[in-house]
Amino acid sequence: MIPAGVAAEVAGYADVAKQIIDLAVFGAAQNRSYRRLADFTDTIGNRVSGSNNLEMAIKYMYNAMVQDGLDVHLEPAKIPHWVRGKESAEMTAPRAKTLAILGLGSSVGTPPEGIEAEVLVVQSFEELKHRASEAAGKIVVFNQPYVSYGETVAYRGYGASEAAKVGAVATLIRSVTPFSINSPHTGWQDYQDGVKRIPTACITVEDAELMWRMAQRGQKIVVRLTMGAKTLPDADSFNTVAEIKGWQHPEQVVLLSGHLDSWDVGQGAMDDGGGAMISWEALSLIKDLGLRPRRTLRTVLWTAEEQGGVGAQQYFNLHKVNMSNFDLVMESDLGTFTPIGLQFTGSDAAQKVMEEVVKLLAPINTTKLEAHGEGTDISPWMQAGVPGTLEFAFSLCASMGSLHLPSN
C-alpha cells in the first residue's frame, strides 16, 4: 500500500496536471510539437550517425532550445560512421527479378563486381544449424516469421555472423516487421569477434516468402548482390542537453529523452524525431506555465542511438558517479501516437507512486501503467536501479519533480 501522505501529495498536483493538459491539448501550445517536428525534418532530413546532417540537426536543436529560453549545452561523444553506398540485388534464377534491399548498418560491402551465388533459405537459426553442410559458398536467406520485434530482431542483429560460421558468403534477412508493401527495413547489425564479416542486407517480407516457396518446390535460386557499404573512422558528435534547474534540489535530476539521429532512408520523423520533440515540448510547457520544479528537469537528445545507444552509453559513463541524484529516467522511442499510458520499471514502492501519478492523466484517458519500461538509451540507468519510464505524457511526469521515487 502506498502511504496515505504520498497519495495525497500526488493528488495535490491535479491542478498542475490540468494546466499542462489544457495548454498542450487546447491552448496556445496545441500542435506546437508537430509544427516543430515538421520544420525540423523538412529543414534537416535524415540524420544518420557520423553524417553532416546529424551535426546540422544538433546545431539546429541547440539554437532552437536556446531561443526557447532553456539552459542548453552540448556534451561530446564519439560515434560510428557507416556509409551505405550504392546497393542492389537481383534474383537471376529460376527467373529474373529485382529485389528491394537495404544494407544493414555496419555491414561490409561486396567486391565491386558483386557476389553471385546460390541461395539457401532457412526459417530459423536452428534450421541453419541443421543444414550447415548446405551453406558453404551460398547466400543465406533468413525467412524467419515475425513474433515480436524484441524476439525477431535477433536475426537482423546476428544473422550475418551465424551464417558466416557455416561458410555463407552473404546474408539476406527478411525485414523485421509484421506489415509490408514490398518495403525493406534497415537497422543495425553486430558482427561477432573472430567470425568472418560477410555482407548483409534486409529484403522485403514478400521476397523472402517468394524465395522460401521456390525452395520448397526444389527450385535452384541464384541471387546477385552488390553493396558499396563501408565503415569510416569514428566521428565527433554531441548529446544535446536542455534543462530547467530545480529550485530546491538542483543537483537531483528527472531526465527526459529521445534520440536525434535516424537512418538514412527516411526523414526520421517517427524514429525518433517525434520523441525528441516531445522531450523538448515537456520543458516548454512547464516553462510557459511558469512552473518551478523542485528538482532539475533535464531533456537529453541522444546521438547515435541507432548504432546501439552509443551516445547514451557515453553519457551514462560520464554521469554515473552521480547515480543517486537521478530520480527518474524517461525515453520516447516507440513512435508518437495518441498516448495510452506509461511503461514503468522500478521498485514496488515506486510502482505504487506511479499508479497514483497516472490517475492525473484521466482527462486524456491515459491512465494505463504497464510493467517493464525499456529503452535503448535509458537501459544503463534502469539496469543500475534508477526508475525508468518509456513513452507518453512526459510533461506531467516531469512536473512531479517534487516527488522522490524510491530506487531499486
- How far, in Å, CA of 105 to CA of 139, rounded? 18
In 3D space, the residue among 397, 330, 331, 398 whose CA is nearest the CA of residue 361 turns out to be: 397
Q: Which pLDDT does position 408 carry in this prediction?
A: 57
Q: Any idea how long the chain is?
A: 408
**Region of residue 94 (phi > 0: left; psi between -120 and 50: alpha; otherwise: beta):** alpha
pLDDT band at 404 (very low <50, low <70, confident <90, very high): low
In the predicted model, what is the mean pLDDT of residues 13-42? 96
Q: List, for residues 347-369, the tens digit of each pLDDT value.
A: 999 999 999 999 999 999 888 89
Does residue 52 surpass a pLDDT of 90? yes
Q: State in Å, rounded, how far the first CA of the chain is from the last one.
A: 17
- How far, in Å, CA of 372 to CA of 363, rounded? 25
Q: Which pLDDT does position 405 carry in this prediction?
A: 58
Q: Which pLDDT does position 4 carry in this prediction?
A: 72
In terms of average pLDDT, the best of 147-151, 314-318, 330-334 is 314-318
**Structural domains of the chain ordered from first start:** 4-79+232-395 (3.40.630.10), 84-227 (3.50.30.30)
Q: Which pLDDT does position 406 carry in this prediction?
A: 57
Q: Which of the two residues, 333 and 176, has the higher pLDDT score?
A: 176
Q: Which pLDDT does position 338 carry in this prediction?
A: 83
- How far, in Å, CA of 47 to CA of 56, rounded? 9
In the predicted model, what is the mean pLDDT of residues 82-109? 98
Does residue 306 surpass a pLDDT of 60? yes
Q: Which helix (H) or strand (E) holds 316?
A: helix 310-319
pLDDT band at 278 (very low <50, low <70, confident <90, very high): very high
Q: What is the percentage of the chain residues whose pLDDT exceeds 70?
A: 95
Q: List, for residues 186-234, the tens digit of each pLDDT value.
A: 999 999 999 999 999 999 999 999 999 999 999 999 999 999 999 999 9
C-beta neighbour count of 158 within 10 angstroms: 17
**Close Cβ partners of 311 (under 8 Å, ≥ 6 residues apart):** 77, 79, 237, 238, 239, 259, 261, 302, 303, 304, 305, 377
pLDDT band at 6 (very low <50, low <70, confident <90, very high): confident
Q: Which pLDDT does position 48 carry in this prediction?
A: 97
pTM reported for the whole predicted model: 0.92
Q: Tell me the average pLDDT of the chain.
A: 94
Which of the residues are catalytic?
305
pLDDT band at 15 (very low <50, low <70, confident <90, very high): very high
- How far, in Å, CA of 130 to CA of 270, rounded? 39
Biggest alpha carbon–alpha carbon distance for the chain: 73
Does residue 155 surpass a pLDDT of 80? yes
In 3D space, the residue among 276, 211, 256 whose CA is nearest the CA of residue 61 turns out to be: 276
Q: List, for residues 287-297, the tens digit of each pLDDT value.
A: 999 999 999 99
- For the ranges 25-29, 135-139, 397-401, the lowest mean pLDDT is seen at 397-401
- For the ranges 104-113, 131-140, 200-209, 331-340, the lowest mean pLDDT is seen at 331-340
**Close Cβ partners of 163 (under 8 Å, ≥ 6 residues apart):** 128, 135, 140, 142, 170, 171, 198
The letter for the amino acid at 111 is P
